[in-house]
Amino acid sequence: MTRLWDKRASLDARVLQYTAGEDYALDERLVRYDVRASIAHAQMLHAQQLLSVDDLALIRTGLQQLGEEHERGQWRIELADEDVHTALERRLTARIGEAGGRVHLGRSRNDQVLTALRLYLRDAIDELDTGTQGVVAALERLSARQGDIALPGYTHMQQAMPSSVAWWAEGFAAELRDDARGIHSVHRRIENNPLGSAAGYGAPGLPLDRAATTRALGFERTQEPVTSVQLSRGKAESQLLFELAILMQDLGRLAADLLLFYTQEFGFIDLPDAFTTGSSIMPQKRNPDVFELVRARTATALACLNEALFICAKLPSGYQRDLQLLKFPLFRGIDIAGQTLQIVAAALDALTFRPERIHLDPAVHAAQEAYAIVVNEGVPFREAYRRVAARYTHKE
Amino acid sequence: MTRLWDKRASLDARVLQYTAGEDYALDERLVRYDVRASIAHAQMLHAQQLLSVDDLALIRTGLQQLGEEHERGQWRIELADEDVHTALERRLTARIGEAGGRVHLGRSRNDQVLTALRLYLRDAIDELDTGTQGVVAALERLSARQGDIALPGYTHMQQAMPSSVAWWAEGFAAELRDDARGIHSVHRRIENNPLGSAAGYGAPGLPLDRAATTRALGFERTQEPVTSVQLSRGKAESQLLFELAILMQDLGRLAADLLLFYTQEFGFIDLPDAFTTGSSIMPQKRNPDVFELVRARTATALACLNEALFICAKLPSGYQRDLQLLKFPLFRGIDIAGQTLQIVAAALDALTFRPERIHLDPAVHAAQEAYAIVVNEGVPFREAYRRVAARYTHKE
Amino acid sequence: MTRLWDKRASLDARVLQYTAGEDYALDERLVRYDVRASIAHAQMLHAQQLLSVDDLALIRTGLQQLGEEHERGQWRIELADEDVHTALERRLTARIGEAGGRVHLGRSRNDQVLTALRLYLRDAIDELDTGTQGVVAALERLSARQGDIALPGYTHMQQAMPSSVAWWAEGFAAELRDDARGIHSVHRRIENNPLGSAAGYGAPGLPLDRAATTRALGFERTQEPVTSVQLSRGKAESQLLFELAILMQDLGRLAADLLLFYTQEFGFIDLPDAFTTGSSIMPQKRNPDVFELVRARTATALACLNEALFICAKLPSGYQRDLQLLKFPLFRGIDIAGQTLQIVAAALDALTFRPERIHLDPAVHAAQEAYAIVVNEGVPFREAYRRVAARYTHKE
Amino acid sequence: MTRLWDKRASLDARVLQYTAGEDYALDERLVRYDVRASIAHAQMLHAQQLLSVDDLALIRTGLQQLGEEHERGQWRIELADEDVHTALERRLTARIGEAGGRVHLGRSRNDQVLTALRLYLRDAIDELDTGTQGVVAALERLSARQGDIALPGYTHMQQAMPSSVAWWAEGFAAELRDDARGIHSVHRRIENNPLGSAAGYGAPGLPLDRAATTRALGFERTQEPVTSVQLSRGKAESQLLFELAILMQDLGRLAADLLLFYTQEFGFIDLPDAFTTGSSIMPQKRNPDVFELVRARTATALACLNEALFICAKLPSGYQRDLQLLKFPLFRGIDIAGQTLQIVAAALDALTFRPERIHLDPAVHAAQEAYAIVVNEGVPFREAYRRVAARYTHKE
C-alpha cells in the first residue's frame, strides 16, 4: 500500500507513527463529511468540464458506497492510510480505477480537511444544542415539580436573601439557554467555504468554480482571499471550545451547588442510589461522584481550549502540520461536553429537594425590612440600612 | 472615613489591603459608567415615587459634577474607598447630604458593578474595533504600495506555490476584519441589563421598574430571572478576552512572518531605524523588537483569558467575591490588545518589501504544471502529479 | 458481576459510563503496580496478625498469577470493573475464594491508587530519563560529526555573533541534561508512602504497620499525617507534567531552529526522505512534518499540565472523585514526551548540516572588533562600540 | 538623554512605549542586584587587567552610591531609560565620567538581566519560605489551641471517618512544609552563573574569568556552554511559578474548607468582624471575602505560570525580546503569593472553631465497626463490610 505522495524512499515507520499517530483514528468521524465534500467537488469539476460525466458517476457511486460501508463498520481508516482523505482516495481508486485519481484535481488536503471539519461542526453544534436543551428541560421539570420550595439565596456562600428552587433552577436554565446561543454563534466562523483554496494559494491555471461548492455544501459564502483560509484554521474550533468552556463552567457551578446541598450539613437534596456510588472501605457511604466529575470536567474543557489556542499561536502563516493536532482537543471537548450534558439532565430528573431540611435564617429578610422602612418612613436607604443592621449585630 | 457597610470593628488594615488591593485603582476607568448608571437608577426611583424630584436633582447634579471632576483628574479613588461605588456614594453624600444615602435603594454593588462593566465594554469594543480597522487599513495601504511584488506562498515553512505581497497582506486583512466581527459579537452578552437584580435576588417589597433602566441605558433587554445575573458574570469578559486571543493570534502570526522575512537569510523586508532597536554589546545590530513583543503578547492574551475563566470555574452560584478579580485580566487584555494594534499599524506603514531579495524556487509552479498536463492531456491528476514529481526528484 | 461496594440498586448504566469512562482503560498500566502494592499490604497484614499465613500465600500467588496473565494479555480491565483495584480484587476472589475478600482490610482505593501511581511514576521517570539521554547522545553525535561547521549565532533572529554547530548542539544538550535532572527531582514528591492512610483518615482500631510497607515498597518515608495524603494527590503528577513542559519547550525550540534552517532561504540542513513527507497537491514538496509536530506538542504538554493543576484547584480537602481524572493528562503527557524524545533523537541522527549554504555576515565580528580596540587602545568599551558602530551604519 | 545603543534616528516614541512599556517600572526591584553583579563584573575585569584599579574604585563607589540612593527613593528608572541596566550605566557615566563606559566590557544585557534575576530570586525564595512557615506556624497554633475538637473527616464532601481540628490543621501544615521545600528546589536552576555568556555567544577575544564572578556572587557553578544560557531563560522563573501554583492550590483548598465551614449550615467556625466584610445592601451580612479571594488567587497563580511558559514556547534559540515579558508574571506571581501567605496566617490566628455546632454522623464509625468485626470474628473484610453496610441501608 502506498500513500498518495509516496515518491521515493519508504517512510520511516517511526515517522509514520509519530506523524499519523492518533490522527487516523480521529478521522473516523470525518468520513461521511469528506465523502459529501468530495462529491460536491467532483460535481463542480464536471460542471467546469474537468471531469467526464462517466467519471463523475463512478466517483459519486464509489464514494457513496464507501461512506455507507464505513457507516456499517465494514472498513476503518488504517495507520498506513495516514488520514481520512488518503483512505478514501486509495479505496476509491482501488474500486473504480483511474477515475479515482481524478478527484483530487484542484484541491489539497489543506482545504479538504477544513471543509470536512466545518461540515462536521455543523452537526456537532446541533447535537450540543440538543444536549443543552435537554438540561434546560430537566431544570424546568424540576422547577415545575418542586419550584415552590423556599431556598436561601446565597452570596459569598452566606445566606443572603430569600430565594426558591424555581429561581435556582430557572437562573441556570436561562444561562444554559444563553450558552446554547453561544454555541450557535460559532456558525459565523464555519459558514465560510474553504474548498478550492487548495494548499492555501488557489489552483493556478484551473477554472474552478468555488461558488458552486459553496452552494452545493450549503455554506453562506466562499472564503476569500485564499490566503486567509489557513489563517482561519483553528478559530472556529477554538470558539466552539470556548463556548463549551462557558457551558461547562455553568454545569460545574450547578454541580458545585448540588455538592454543597448534598452534604449532611446542608441536606437539601436527596439522590437515588443509582446516582451515587459507594466506598470500598466505608460501608455507609453514598457518594455524589457524578457531580464531582462534572465539576472536574471544567478542567478538561479549559485544557482543550488551551491546547487548541496554543497549537495555532506564533505559527508563521500558511498551512503548518501543527494544525492537524487541533482535532484531538476539538473532538475531546465536544465528546466530554455531550456526555456531561446527558448525565446532568438525567441527574436533575433524579434528585429531590428536601424542604424539611431547608431552613432560612430570618436575617435573609433584613434588606426587605430596610426597604419597608424606606417606603413607610421616607428615610434614606442608608439610614434604614443602619437601623436594621443594629438589629442583627450578633450573627445568629 | 467609613465604608458603607462599616458597622462595628474597624476593618483590619491588612484585610483592606488584601481585599481592595488592586481594585480601587482598576475602578478608575469605571467612574464615568457608574455615574451614568447611577443617574439612570435614580431617575427610575423617582419615576417609581421612591425618590423626590428635589433629591433626584441633587443626585443627578452631584454625580455629574463628580464625574466631570474625576475626568479632570481632581480626585482619585482611594484604597480606603475600596471601590468606585463606595467612592462615589461617599463623595456624593459629603456633597449633597442625606439625599446621597437614597441612591443605593434597590440595588447592590453586585448589579451595579456589572452594569458599569457592560457600559464600559461597549466603549472598549468600539475602540478595539477602531484599532483593528487601523491594522486592516495599513495592510491595504501595503497592498496598494507593494502588492504586485511576487512572494513565495509557504506551507510547512517551505516554498509551495506562487503568491504576492497583496495576497499576503489581504489574507491577514480578511482575518482581522473577521476578528473585528468576533469582537462585536460580544455585544450579545453585554446587552442584558443587570440593574435591579440587586445582590442577585431582586429587591423584595420595592416597586422597581427594571425596564426603565434598560431603556435609559440602551440595553436590549432586562436580564432575567435575577438569579441568572451573577451566573453570567465573567462570561462577556471571557468572551471578549477569547476574541482578543484570536486577534492576538493573528497579529502574532503576522509578526512571526515578518520576523522570518527580516532575517538576513530571507531579507525580504526592511524596517526603518525608528522601528528597530540596537544591542548594548553588538554595534552592528538592528533588532525587530516590536515584532518579537507582538509575538510574545499572544502569551499575555492567553493568560488573561485563562485567568478570567479560572476565576469563575467551580464557584457555587450567587455572587462570590472571587468575581471581583475579573477586572484585572479584562483590563490588561484590552489594554495590551489596543497597544499592540496601534504599534502593528504603525510598523506596517513603516516596512518595505525588497523585491530584489525575494527569489521564488521554480518548483513552486509544479502544481500548475500538473494542472496543465491534466487540462491538456486529460490524464488523471494523480498521474500528472507523478509525472511532474519525477522532474523534481532531487530538491534544489 | 458486581462491584465491591454494590449494595442495593444496580448502578445506572449511564452513571457507570460517565464515572468509569476512560478510567478502566487507563488503569491497564497500573495493574503491575497494584499487584506489587497489594502483596506488600498483605504481607504487612500477616505480620500484624490480621491475615493467616495460608491466606497470605493464596493472595500472593493469586495476585502474581493475575499480574503475569495480564502482562501476557490474557485479561483486560472491563468497564464494569470500574478500575484496576476492583478488577484485581474481583478476579482474585473468583480465583482463591474468601481470602480475596481479606486483602482490602485497612486500605481504601484512595491510598491504593496513589501508591500504584507513585510506583508507576518511578518507572516513568526512568524511561523519560533514558529518552532524554537518547536525544543528548544524538546531539553529541551531531557535534562530533559536524561540530566544526561555523554557524551564525542569532539574537532576535538576527545574525549576531559567530557560533558553530558544536555550540548549537551542545547548548541544547546541556539544557536537556538539566531537564533530565528536573524530571528526576519529581522523586522528592513520589517517595512518600501513602499506603495505610486509607480513605485519608487512617484505619481506626486496626494495628497497621505503615513503616513495613514503606520498607517493602522502597519508599523513603511514610507520608504523615494521614490527612496530608489526599492533599498531596496531583502534586507529583503536576510536577512531572511541569518538567515535561520544560523538556518539550526545549524540544520545541530545537524544532523551531531546525524548521528555520530547513527553509529554502536558510538551507542550512538537509533531511533524508524518510524524515520528510510529501504533499497531496504539490509534487515537488518535501515537508519537515516531524519538527512541526514536535513544535505543536509543546501545546499538548502545556494543556496536560493545565488540566492536572486545574482539576485539583479549589477543591475542599479530603478525597474528591475529581482527582481520578488526573490520570488522563498524566499518562498523555508522559506518552507524548516519550514518543517525541524518540523521534527527535532519530531525526537528529538523520539530518546533515550543509556548510556550503551557511554564510556568516561579516558584521557578526563587530563585538570582537570593539573588544580588540578596547584591549589594544585602552579606550572605554562604550567608545569602541561607537567607533565600530559607525562602520556598520548601513545594514548589509 | 540617549540610550546606550542609540546610533542614528531617534527612536519612535510609540516604539519606546511599546517596547519598554511596563519594563522600566518592573526593573525597580532589580536595581540592587544589578549593582551587585556589576561590581563583581568590574572586579573580574580588573583582575583580568581589563580595568585599571582607579576605574574600578570609581565604578564600585559610583554603583554603591547609586544603589543606596535608589534604596532611599532618590531616583527611579524612567521610561526613557528603558531598563535597569541602561539606567545604571547612564547615571554612572554621568557621575564618574569615561570610566562608566568601561563597565559593560564583555557582557550584554542578555546575561546581565539573567544574573540580576537569579540574585533576586534567591531573596524571593527566602521571603516566600518565611511566609509559608508563617502559615505553618499559624496552623500549629490552631492545632495547639483547638486541636482536640472532633471534626468529621470528609471524602466526596460527605462525612466519612472521624477526624479532628488537629488532623485538619496538621494535614495542611505538612503539605505547606512540603511546598516550602518545593520552592527551595528552584535553587537548582538559579545557582548557575550566566555572567560572561554575554549575548549568548561569549566574548571572543576577551580574557574573561567567568569562574571569578561565579565565586564573587556565590553561584554554585558557571553555566556552560554559553549557548545554553539563553535557552535556560524562563525555566527557573516558570519553576518558581509552578511551585507557587502548588502552594496557592493548598491555600485555595484550605480556603475552600473554611468557606464551607463558615456557611450557616455548617457553622463550624467563627471569624472576627475584622476578617469579614459587610454588604452594601443586606444589613445583616458578614462575608468571608478574604477566603474567597484566596480561592480566586489560585487562578492568578495558574495564569502567571501559563504566561511564563507560553512566552518561551516555540521560540528559536538565542535571546529573543519576548523573554523580557517574563518579568511581569514572575513578579506578579511572587507578590500575590507573598500577600496571600500573610493574610492566611493572620486569618488562621483569628478564627475559632465552634465545637457546639460540629456534629459527627454516627455512620462515620462504620469502617471502624467493620474492622472490629474482622479483628474479633476473623471474617474477611469484605464480609464485615457487607454486614455493616446493611445497618446503614438508609442514609441518616
pLDDT in tens, D149-204: 999 999 999 999 999 999 999 999 999 999 999 999 999 999 999 999 999 999 99
The answer to whether B283 and C388 have CB atoms below 8 angstroms apart is: yes
**Cα–Cα distance, B305 to B299 (Å, whole number):** 10
The answer to whether B185 and B178 have CB atoms below 8 angstroms apart is: no
Q: Which of A190-199, A343-352, D378-387 has the lowest mean pLDDT?
A: D378-387
Residue A209 has pLDDT above 90, yes or no: yes
Beta bridge partners of A4: none
Q: For chain A, give the mean pLDDT.
A: 94
Q: Does residue A260 sit at the D interface (CB-CB below 8 Å)?
A: yes
Q: Which residues of C274-308 are buried (b: 16+ CB within 10 A; e: fewer)?
A: bbbbbbbbbbbbbbbbbbbbbbbbbbbbbbbbbbb
Q: Does residue C306 sit at the A interface (CB-CB below 8 Å)?
A: yes
Q: Does residue D238 sit at the C interface (CB-CB below 8 Å)?
A: yes
Q: Of B320, B309, B322, which is closest to residue A249 (Cα–Cα)?
A: B309
Q: Of B286, D196, B396, B256, which is closest to residue C361 (Cα–Cα)?
A: B286
Task: Give chains near C: 3+ CB pairs under 8 A.
Answer: A, B, D
Q: Of A199, A293, A187, which is closest to residue A248 (Cα–Cα)?
A: A293
Query: Which residue of chain C is at minimal alpha-carbon distance from D109?
Result: C155
Tell me the pairing of strands B269-270 and B352-353. Answer: antiparallel
**Cα–Cα distance, D43 to D19 (Å, whole number):** 32
For residue A131, give the 3-state DSSP assignment: helix
Query: B155 vs C279: CB contact, 8 Å cut-off?
Result: yes
Q: Does residue B292 sit at the C interface (CB-CB below 8 Å)?
A: yes
Q: How many CB pairs below 8 A link A and D?
A: 126
Which of left, alpha, beta for D318 (phi over 0: left; psi -120 to 50: alpha)? left
* Cell numbers found for residue C103: 486483602
Residue A4 has pLDDT above 70, yes or no: no
The DSSP code for D277 is: B
The per-residue pLDDT for range C15-24, each reduced to its tens digit, is 888 988 788 8
Query: C102 vs D382: CB contact, 8 Å cut-off?
Result: yes
Query: A368 vs B204: CB contact, 8 Å cut-off?
Result: yes
Q: Which alpha helices (H) appear in chain A, and where do they start and end?
A: 13-20, 23-26, 31-47, 53-71, 84-96, 109-146, 165-184, 187-190, 210-216, 226-232, 235-262, 289-312, 327-350, 366-377, 381-391
Res B2: pLDDT = 46
**Residues B90, B94, B95, B98: is their CA dihedral positive or negative?**
positive
Please report which helix (H) or strand (E) contains residue B33, including its range.
helix B31-47
Per 3-state DSSP, chain B is made up of helix, strand and coil in percentages (nearest 5) of 65, 5, 30
Q: Does residue A253 sit at the C interface (CB-CB below 8 Å)?
A: no
Query: Which residue of chain D is at minimal alpha-carbon distance from C172?
Result: D228
Q: For chain D, give the mean pLDDT.
A: 94
Please report which helix (H) or strand (E) contains residue D353, including its range.
strand D352-353
Residue C2 has pLDDT above 70, yes or no: no
Instruction: Give the model's confidence band at A11: pLDDT under 50 very low, under 70 low, under 90 confident, else very high.
Output: low
Cα D264 to Cα C222, D260, D281, D285, D286, distances in angstroms: 38, 9, 19, 11, 11
Res B4: pLDDT = 52
Res C246: pLDDT = 98
**Cα–Cα distance, A117 to A83 (Å, whole number):** 13
For an interface test with A, which of B108, B309, B326 has the most A Cβ atoms less than 10 Å from its Cβ? B309
Query: In this predicted complex, what is the ipTM?
Result: 0.96
Residue A225 has pLDDT above 80, yes or no: yes
Query: Which residue of chain B is at minimal alpha-carbon distance from A296?
Result: B314
Q: Which residue in A10, A156, A280, A394 is the catalytic one?
A: A156
Instruction: Give the model's confidence band at C284: pLDDT under 50 very low, under 70 low, under 90 confident, else very high.
Output: confident
- Residues 14..33 of C with a Cβ closer than 8 Å to D: which? none
End-to-end Cα separation, chain A, in angstroms: 78
Res A362: pLDDT = 92
Q: Does residue A264 sit at the C interface (CB-CB below 8 Å)?
A: no
Res C310: pLDDT = 97
**Cα–Cα distance, B308 to C230 (Å, whole number):** 28
pTM of the model: 0.96
Query: C256 vs D315: CB contact, 8 Å cut-off?
Result: yes
**Residues D9, D10, D16, D18: is their CA dihedral positive or negative?**
negative
For an interface test with A, which of B51, B381, B391, B393 has the most A Cβ atoms less than 10 Å from its Cβ? B381
From the CB of residue A89, how many other CB atoms can be counted at a distance below 10 Å? Answer: 24
Q: Which residue in D52, D185, D279, D317 is the catalytic one?
A: D279
Pick D20 or B384 by higher pLDDT: B384
**Cα–Cα distance, A338 to A131 (Å, whole number):** 6
Residue C3 has pLDDT above 90, yes or no: no
Q: Is the previous residue joined to C204 through a cis bond, with omega within 30 degrees of 0?
A: no
Q: Which of A132-136, A243-247, A381-385, D336-340 has the lowest mean pLDDT?
A: A381-385
Candidates C285, C292, C314; nearest CB to B160: C285
Burial class (CB in 10 A: 0-12, 13-18, 19+), A57: middle
Query: D260 vs A157: CB contact, 8 Å cut-off?
Result: yes
Query: Which residue of chain C is at minimal alpha-carbon distance from B271?
Result: C395
The answer to whether B282 and C389 have CB atoms below 8 angstroms apart is: no
Q: Does residue B280 sit at the D interface (CB-CB below 8 Å)?
A: yes
Q: Does residue B264 sit at the D interface (CB-CB below 8 Å)?
A: no
Mean per-residue pLDDT, A162-188: 98
Q: Could you give the angle at the alpha carbon of D294 between the alpha carbons of B193 and D187, nearest 5°? A: 135
Query: Which residue of chain C is at minimal alpha-carbon distance from B312?
Result: C314
Q: Does residue A256 sit at the B interface (CB-CB below 8 Å)?
A: yes
The torsion angle over the Cα atoms of residues B3, B8, B10 and B15, rounded to 10 degrees, is -80
The per-residue pLDDT for range D32-75, each reduced to its tens digit, is 999 999 999 999 999 999 999 999 999 999 999 999 999 999 99
For residue C111, give the 3-state DSSP assignment: helix
In chain D, residues with a C-beta closer than 8 Å to the C-beta of C93 are 382
**Cα–Cα distance, D55 to C392 (Å, whole number):** 29
Query: How large a percentage of chain A has pLDDT more than 90?
Result: 87
Instruction: Give the model's confidence band at D284: pLDDT under 50 very low, under 70 low, under 90 confident, else very high.
Output: confident
For cell 465594554, what's the residue? B121
Query: Which residue of chain B is at minimal alpha-carbon distance from D7?
Result: B278
Query: Which residue of chain D is at minimal alpha-carbon distance from B347?
Result: D15
Q: Which residues of C313-324 are buried (b: 16+ CB within 10 A; e: fewer)?
A: bbbbbbbbbbbb
Long-range contact list for C344-347, CB < 8 A, 24+ apart?
C344/C135, C344/C138, C344/C251, C344/C254, C344/C255, C344/C294, C345/C131, C345/C134, C345/C135, C345/C137, C345/C138, C346/A12, C346/A14, C346/A15, C346/C138, C346/C275, C347/C271, C347/C275, C347/C290, C347/C291
Query: D299 vs B280: CB contact, 8 Å cut-off?
Result: no
Query: What does the longest C-alpha to C-alpha distance in chain B come to?
Result: 93
* Catalytic machinery residues of B: 156, 279
In chain D, residues with a C-beta closer than 8 Å to the C-beta of A283 are 366-367, 370, 385-386, 388-389, 391-392
Instruction: Give the model's confidence band at D280: pLDDT under 50 very low, under 70 low, under 90 confident, else very high.
Output: confident
For cell 430557572, what's the residue? A170
Q: Does residue B274 sit at the C interface (CB-CB below 8 Å)?
A: no
Find all residues with CB under 8 Å of C233, minimum gap 6, and list them. Answer: C114, C312, C319, C323, C326
Measure CA A142 to chain center: 25
Rg (alpha carbons) of chain C, rounded to whole number: 28
Query: Which residue of chain C is at minimal alpha-carbon distance from A347?
Result: C15
Per-residue pLDDT of chain B (396 residues; tens, 9 = 90+): 345 545 444 557 888 889 887 888 899 999 999 999 999 999 999 999 999 999 999 999 999 999 999 999 999 999 888 899 999 999 999 999 999 999 999 999 999 999 999 999 999 999 999 999 999 999 999 999 999 999 999 999 999 999 999 999 999 999 999 999 999 999 999 999 999 999 999 999 999 999 999 999 999 999 999 999 999 999 999 999 999 999 999 999 999 999 999 999 999 999 998 888 888 778 888 899 999 999 999 999 999 999 999 999 999 999 999 999 999 999 999 999 999 999 999 999 999 999 999 999 999 999 999 999 999 999 999 899 999 988 886 543
**Cα–Cα distance, C184 to C126 (Å, whole number):** 8
Strands (E) in D140-236, as ranges, are: 150-155, 158-164, 192-193, 221-222
The DSSP code for B373 is: H
Query: B278 vs D6: CB contact, 8 Å cut-off?
Result: yes
In chain A, residues with a C-beta closer than 8 Å to the C-beta of C322 are 292-293, 295-296, 299
Q: Does residue A288 sit at the D interface (CB-CB below 8 Å)?
A: yes
From the CB of residue D298, how many other CB atoms can be counted at a distance below 10 Å? Answer: 30
Task: Give chains near B: 3+ CB pairs under 8 A.
Answer: A, C, D
- Residues 311..340 of B with a Cβ closer than 8 Å to D: which? 311, 313, 320-325, 328-329, 339-340
Burial class (CB in 10 A: 0-12, 13-18, 19+), C378: exposed
Query: Which residue of chain C is at minimal alpha-carbon distance from B388?
Result: C283
Res B281: pLDDT = 79
The torsion angle over the Cα atoms of residues D147, D148, D149 and D152, rounded to 10 degrees, is 90
Res C51: pLDDT = 96
Res A2: pLDDT = 46
Mean per-residue pLDDT, D87-98: 95
Residue C1 has pLDDT above 70, yes or no: no
Backbone angles phi, psi at D185, to 5 degrees: -65, -15
For cell 466545518, what's the residue? A118
Candidates B161, B265, B279; nearest CB to C265: B265
Rg (alpha carbons) of chain D, rounded to whole number: 28
Q: Does residue C185 sit at the D interface (CB-CB below 8 Å)?
A: yes
The per-residue pLDDT for range C71-114, each reduced to its tens digit, is 999 999 998 888 999 999 999 999 999 999 999 999 999 999 99
Beta bridge partners of B162: B152
Residue D1 has pLDDT above 80, yes or no: no
In chain A, residues with a C-beta closer than 8 Å to the C-beta of C304 are 303
Min CA distance, C385 vs chain B (Å)?
6
Query: B254 vs A317: CB contact, 8 Å cut-off?
Result: yes
**Cα–Cα distance, C285 to C263 (Å, whole number):** 12
Q: Of B332, B30, C365, which is closest to residue D300 (Cα–Cα)?
A: B332
* Catalytic machinery residues of C: 156, 279
Min CA distance, B160 vs chain A (Å)?
8
Cα C254 to Cα C344, D106, D231, distances in angstroms: 9, 27, 10
Res A284: pLDDT = 82
Tell me the pairing of strands B158-164 and B150-155. Answer: antiparallel
Res A3: pLDDT = 52
Residue A384's identity, in one-letter code, is A
**Cα–Cα distance, B315 to B313 (Å, whole number):** 6
Candidates D267, D282, D391; nearest CB to A366: D282
Q: Could you give the angle at the alpha carbon of B384 between the alpha carbons of B380 and B385, nearest 5°? A: 110
Candidates D10, D14, D199; nearest CB to B342: D14
- Residues 92..111 of B with a Cβ closer than 8 Å to A: which? 93, 98-106, 110
Query: How large a percentage of chain A has pLDDT more than 70?
Result: 96
From the CB of residue B165, how many other CB atoms can be counted at a distance below 10 Å? Answer: 21
Burial class (CB in 10 A: 0-12, 13-18, 19+), A13: exposed
Q: Does residue A363 sit at the D interface (CB-CB below 8 Å)?
A: yes
Min CA distance, C87 vs chain A (Å)?
13
Query: How large a percentage of chain D has pLDDT more than 90?
Result: 87
**Length of chain B counted residue by residue:** 396
The torsion angle over the Cα atoms of residues B120, B122, B127 and B128, rounded to 10 degrees, is 110
For cell 500538473, what's the residue? B370
